[in-house]
């Protein structure tokens, strides 16, 4: 949580995760949606497509993997 989402709160104004779909695949849950917010340094808004993959064991999340449109994020943050 601290390594991913807490950092976003400090770098983005209005950072939010908007989930469009949740796919239940047993011990794996897939969520698709978008990251929203405005990058504070550049003032540019993002609407970044994402997919989150959660691995569940004994009712608890044991692994998390995120996929995001990194080129879009780089353009918004001024990295490219």
Domain ranges of the chain: 2-77
Edge-to-edge strand ranges of the sheet holding 60-68: 12-25, 28-39, 45-57, 60-68
- For the segment 5-16, the average pLDDT, to the nearest whole number, is 82
- Residue 10 pLDDT: 81
What does each C-alpha distance from 22 to 28, 29, 36, 40 come to in angstroms? 11, 7, 18, 30
What pTM value is reported for the model? 0.84
Quickly name the fold that domain 2-77 has: Nuclear Transport Factor 2; Chain: A, (3.10.450)
- For the segment 62-70, the average pLDDT, to the nearest whole number, is 95
- Residue 1 pLDDT: 58
- For the segment 56-70, the average pLDDT, to the nearest whole number, is 95
Per residue in 21-62, pLDDT (tens digit) is 999 999 999 999 999 999 999 999 999 999 999 999 999 999
Q: Is residue 6's pLDDT more than 90?
A: no
């Amino acid at each position: 949580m601290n390594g991913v989402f807490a950092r976003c709160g400090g770098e983005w104004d209005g950072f939010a995760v908007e989930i469009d779909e949740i796919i239940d695949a047993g011990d794996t849950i897939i969520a698709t949606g978008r990251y929203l917010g405005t990058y504070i340094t550049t003032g540019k808004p993002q609407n970044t497509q994402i997919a989150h993959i959660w691995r569940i064991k004994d009712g608890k999340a044991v692994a998390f993997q995120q996929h995001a449109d990194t080129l879009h994020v780089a353009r918004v943050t001024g990295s490219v």
